[in-house]
Amino acid sequence: MSVRRRLERAYRMCQQRIAPGLRFSQSQYEEALAGVVRPGIDWLDAGCGHQLLPAWREQAERDLIERAGSVTGLDPDWPSIRIHRSIRRRVSGTIRALPFPNASFDLVTANMVVEHLEQPEHEFAEILRVLRPGGRFLFHTPNSRGYIVRAARMVPEALKKPLIRTLEGREAADVFPTWYRANNESDVAAVAKATGLEVEWVRPIRTDAVFAMVLPLAVPELIWIRILEKESMRHHRPDLLVSMLRPAAAGNGNGP
């Protein structure tokens, strides 16, 4: 058994004792996706990168895509979307200027993308434009009031990429600038009001420990994560799941 596998096993034993029932945020996002991907819908995954779900969920990803009527992946990083493992229709472009006609999609999704939007009012307005009346925008993103983002803001820029590679296994090419301008409940509400989208729900969620592979640090982090289970501490949870709707009987100046 490899060292990493041993560390993962030890972490899981600690997690089950200290924070039983804790679920990875990507698993919660997948569950939310499964609830809204209906047969026949037209779906845009904005900022799709090279995969929709984590690497070990490839078959679940393909099952979701096969359920929809059409799936389009959009990302400005062509090398990433060129090798996307499941989406066939791929477009190089930005959310700020979506290259699609008005009312093209029933569902727009974004998995760990919103934190990278420098002017989210513009991008959310574009998402509203391409959604059909009653369409949904579902996204998963870090919570700017959560402990992970607060701690990350204190890390020098020169150390961030090596640290992310060590803790998350992400290469430098997969690390992009972050702004966190629509990344808490009040900012989501403000952007929705500014663009005409309606907030269906916002769920601050817990996730696995950042220091899962460093047990002496994972244990106190898991204790903190256990405390975040309390409703009074929801604003400090590390991630958000958000569902927004284009009003069914209303439009904006850019609508069809």
Residue 157 pLDDT: 61
C-alpha–C-alpha distance, residues 17 and 11, integer Å: 10
> Residue 255 falls within a domain, yes or no?
no
- The tally of domains found in the chain comes to 1
DSSP structure class, residue 56: G
Contacts (Cβ under 8 Å, ≥6 apart) of 121: 191, 194, 195
Element (H, E) at 175: none
CATH code at 193?
Answer: 3.40.50.150
**Amino acid found at 136:** R
DSSP count for the chain of H helices, then E strands: 9, 7
Question: What range defines the domain where residue 204 resides?
Answer: 24-209+232-245
Report yes or no on 78 lying in a domain.
Answer: yes
Q: Is 47 helix (H, G, I), strand (E, B) or coil?
A: coil
The SS3 assignment for 74 reads: strand
Residue 69 belongs to some domain of the structure: yes
Q: Is residue 7 part of a domain?
A: no
103: left (phi over 0), alpha (psi -120 to 50) or beta: left
The C-alpha atoms of residue 161 and residue 175 are separated, in whole angstroms, by 7
pLDDT tens, per residue, the chain with 256 residues = 788 899 999 999 999 999 999 999 999 999 999 999 999 999 999 999 999 999 999 999 999 999 999 999 999 999 999 999 999 999 999 999 999 999 999 999 999 999 999 999 999 999 999 999 999 999 999 999 999 999 888 776 666 556 655 655 555 445 568 999 999 999 999 999 999 999 999 999 999 999 998 999 999 999 999 999 999 999 999 999 999 999 997 544 444 4
* Contact between residue 85 and residue 113 where contact means Cβ atoms under 8 Å apart: no
| Integer angstrom CA distances of residue 187 from 121, 240, 241 | 10, 12, 14
Any domain includes 4: no
| Residue 181 belongs to a domain | yes
For strand 198-205 and strand 70-75, is the pairing parallel, antiparallel, or unpaired? unpaired
In a domain, 132, yes or no: yes
Residue 48: C-alpha distances to residues 2, 23, 93, 208 (Å) = 31, 23, 11, 23
Q: What are the structure tokens assigned to 27, written together?
A: 């698993």
Question: Is there a domain that residue 107 lies in?
Answer: yes
